[in-house]
Amino acid sequence: NKTVAGISREVLPAGDKRALNKFLTEYDWDEQQFNHERLEELQKHGETRWSKDGYIILDDTITHKAGDEVPGVGHFYDHAEDDTVWGQDLIYAFYADDKTAYPLTFRLYEKQDDNDQDHDTKYDLAREIVTELEDEVGVPADTYLFDSWFAHDSGLPELIESSEKDWIGPLRSNRQVTYGGEEIRVDALAERIDTVERDVEDETYHIWTKKLPVSQLGDVKLVLAEKETDEEDEENPVKYLVTNKIDAPTEHIIRSYGMRWRIETFFEDSKQDLGLGDCEMQTDEGASRHWHLLMAAYSLVRLDPESSALGTVRSKASSLRANLEHSLKEAVYNLLSWVRDND
């Protein structure tokens, strides 16, 4: 159980446990400032320095809960479980390129009451994240990636374009497009088009692409990509990708969107090895500090030149856990030093 006490039992000597609990729940320190300084530190190292060629990935994850005392808990649909679960919904922004990957920032989504008209929606929080990354942090990555939820009526594409950045996301199969002067569902295009076969990243795709008007998005580049698979029952092999990168090669669009798997790996590994879903703090501040500490630990792993990407070291689970525990301990001590120096 990755409560504050659980974390301290695993990574800190017995004498430090009470101090850690007090530090996370009672001390006065600014989590956002700490997070921005974490990102600044990552830019001092070649292996974690971001670039214009990188990607900012927006996605959310559900952490399952049993009780009702933790912040933001409620009923949420979990795509991984294909069912509604009781838990918390965290929206993350994640940086990824060919050499590194790490979380940038997050927001906790709280389901709004039917009578609360001023409550932040999930779209509001995603836009807030983009504004923070562009106006305060200054992440240079040129392209945002997100799923069909954020590509639908979120206002994200317009906000991203206002920062002169690009975006790529999939359409739901029922989204309306204008083709041949007629407005039809995007999945109805298959009956009217001819695809071409192309190899992308050692995978074979049947591809069709065209600049088309799409509902709520205007004129965008639409890429219909159906991946060949040996599994006859593989779910939804067809992707309807849209982007404002009108002139970008189709292979680039498909390859770029494939980077989204990096945030899924982060969610999986952080839940398994860093306690992403096990925080039982009952205050907003305590929970936020838990998750900020987790991001610091994950980032320290990225700075270890001998550690591979987390998603590729399943066969070295014990070594990974040792690295994570060492990094979490280092994060705690570095954080204590940071608060002392900024007091």
CA distances 280 to 98, 271, 319, Å, are 35, 14, 27
Q: What is the DSSP string of 243-290?
A: ES-TTS-HHHHHHHHGGGHHHHHHHHHHHHHS-TT-----SHHHHHHH
Q: What is the pLDDT of residue 230?
A: 76
CA atoms within 13 A on the CB side of 210: 15
First to last CA, the chain: 31
Report the SS3 class of residue 128: helix
Q: What is the DSSP string of 191-252?
A: GT---EEEEETTEEEEEEEEEEEETTTEEEEEEEEEE--S-TT-S--EEEEEES-TTS-HHH
The strand pairing partners of 96, in sequence order, are: 55, 101
Report the SS3 class of residue 305: coil
Q: What is the pLDDT of residue 146?
A: 96
Q: What is the pLDDT of residue 90?
A: 93
Report the SS3 class of residue 168: strand
Does an H or E element contain 325, and which?
helix 317-341
Q: Which DSSP state fits 3?
A: S
Classify 4-341 by CATH class: alpha beta
Q: What is the pLDDT of residue 263?
A: 96
The burial class, CB within 10 Å (0-12 / 13-18 / 19+), for 141 is: buried
Q: What is the pLDDT of residue 330?
A: 58
Q: What is the pLDDT of residue 201?
A: 87
Q: What is the pLDDT of residue 317?
A: 36
CB 203 within 8 A of CB 215: no
Q: What is the residue-level pLDDT of the chain in tens, covering all 343 positions? A: 444 445 445 444 545 556 656 666 666 778 889 899 999 999 999 999 999 999 999 999 998 777 777 776 777 888 777 788 888 899 999 999 999 999 999 999 988 766 666 678 999 999 999 999 999 999 999 999 999 988 887 799 999 999 999 999 999 999 999 999 999 999 999 899 999 999 998 889 999 999 999 999 999 999 999 998 876 655 657 899 999 999 999 999 999 999 999 999 999 988 888 878 776 677 777 788 888 888 998 998 887 544 433 333 333 333 444 554 555 555 555 555 555 565 5
Q: What is the pLDDT of residue 17?
A: 53
Q: What is the pLDDT of residue 19?
A: 60
Taken as a whole, the chain contains a residue count of 343
Q: What is the pLDDT of residue 159?
A: 96
Q: What is the pLDDT of residue 83?
A: 81
CA distances 117 to 113, 124, 152, 319, Å, are 8, 13, 20, 49
Q: From CA 337, how far away is CA 343, in angstroms rounded?
A: 10
Cα 299–335–47 angle (5° rounding)?
25
Structure tokens at 177: 């497009």
